[in-house]
């Protein structure tokens, strides 16, 4: 499968701080997605990006689709304890019919210290 | 409520004892998929299905089987589990292949 490099692998931050994480690939993607996984739960979609250069916000979250289509970043402003979890990026490419087209990064584990 | 339901949520079994993890979605989604999550490796796709009776291998299909006889159900079968299949498994579905995925709550499997 495609390789998505997500960084950092883990972060420990103080409540109220801003957070930034990113995802890079050697392949071009048509869509970038960001998911969050709460402890003991399945991943939940946070933001979807469909166009190179697109900047999209969802509350305190902002994500951008890199202009080269090979990267994306996610920012969280003014972090709160419930932001704790694992954040996954995912990239989608157009492939021949029937082939797998969605690939996940390895995740960024976020810990927020009250 | 729209959801993807997996069972069992937790299972401890022994090497070689066949098991099935069920997955059911109530959203009339065409696309369903199984992932395994391992520390440091993220989510890796095992099998996926684009519609009834249409299944295909993902990145790590060895040791697994699936079937899609009905649109809502997509069971994952481990015919002869081995310890390297100890993992956290997620079922997911989407309206179509290019759509956004809804995940189940996960099934933690331990093979001794």
Tens of pLDDT, residue by residue over A38-88, are: 988 999 999 999 999 999 999 999 999 999 999 999 999 999 999 999 999
Rounded Cα distance between B65 and B5, Å, is: 19
Residue B7 structure tokens: 């069972």
For position A96, what pLDDT does the model report? 61
Count of residues in chain B: 112
Say if the Cβ atoms of A31 and B101 lie within 8 Å.
Answer: no
Query: What is the 8-class DSSP label of residue A51?
Result: S
Rounded Cα distance between B104 and B49, Å, is: 16
Query: What is the 8-class DSSP label of residue B30?
Result: S
Residue B32 structure tokens: 């369903």
Say if the Cβ atoms of A43 and B59 lie within 8 Å.
Answer: no
Residue B42 structure tokens: 């993220």
Q: Which residues of chain A have a CB within 8 Å of the CB of B90?
A: 42-43
Q: Which residues of chain A have a CB within 8 Å of the CB of B106?
A: 40-42
Contact yes or no for A21/A7 (Cβ under 8 A): yes
Rounded Cα distance between B24 and A23, Å, is: 31
> Reduced to 3 states, what is the DSSP secondary structure of residue A59?
coil
Assess whether the previous peptide bond of A4 is cis (omega < 30° from 0): no
Q: How far off is chain B from A105, nearest CA to CA, in Å?
A: 6
Q: Which residues of chain B have a CB within 8 Å of the CB of A100?
A: 45, 48, 56, 58-59
CA A38 to chain CA centroid, Å, is 14
pLDDT tens, chain B, 112 aa long: 889 999 999 999 999 999 999 999 999 999 999 999 998 888 999 999 989 999 999 989 999 999 999 999 999 999 999 999 999 999 999 987 666 899 999 999 999 9
Place of tokens 């490796």: B41
Q: Which residues of chain A have a CB within 8 Å of the CB of B102?
A: 45
Say if the Cβ atoms of B106 and A107 lie within 8 Å.
Answer: no
pLDDT for A1 beyond 70 = no
Rounded Cα distance between A103 and A90, Å, is: 5
C-alpha distances (whole Å) from B2 to each of A95, B26, B70 are 29, 6, 18
Q: Between β-strands B10-13 and A108-113, what pairing exists: parallel, antiparallel or unpaired?
A: unpaired
Rounded Cα distance between A73 and B13, Å, is: 40
Say if the Cβ atoms of B92 and A42 lie within 8 Å.
Answer: yes
């Amino acid at each position: 499968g495609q390789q998505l490099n997500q960084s950092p692998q883990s972060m420990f931050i103080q409540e109220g701080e801003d957070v930034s994480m990113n995802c890079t690939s050697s392949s071009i993607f048509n869509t970038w997605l960001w998911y969050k996984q709460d402890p003991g739960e399945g991943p939940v979609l946070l933001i979807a990006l469909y166009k190179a250069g697109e900047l999209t916000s969802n509350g305190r979250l902002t994500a951008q689709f890199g202009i080269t289509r090979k990267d994306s970043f996610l920012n969280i402003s003014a972090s709160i304890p419930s932001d704790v979890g694992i954040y996954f990026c995912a990239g989608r490419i157009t492939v021949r019919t029937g082939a797998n087209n969605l690939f996940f990064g390895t995740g960024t584990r976020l810990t927020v210290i009250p | 409520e729209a959801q993807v339901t997996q069972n069992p949520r937790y299972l401890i079994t022994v090497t070689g004892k066949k098991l099935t993890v069920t997955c059911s979605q109530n959203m009339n989604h065409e696309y369903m998929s199984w992932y395994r999550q391992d520390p440091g490796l993220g989510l890796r796709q095992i099998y996926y299905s684009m519609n009834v009776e249409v299944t295909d291998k993902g990145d790590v299909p060895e040791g697994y089987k699936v079937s899609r006889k009905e649109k809502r159900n997509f069971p994952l079968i481990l015919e002869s589990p081995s310890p390297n299949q100890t993992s956290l498994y997620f079922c997911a579905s989407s309206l179509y292949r290019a759509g956004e995925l809804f995940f189940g709550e996960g099934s933690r499997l331990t093979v001794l």
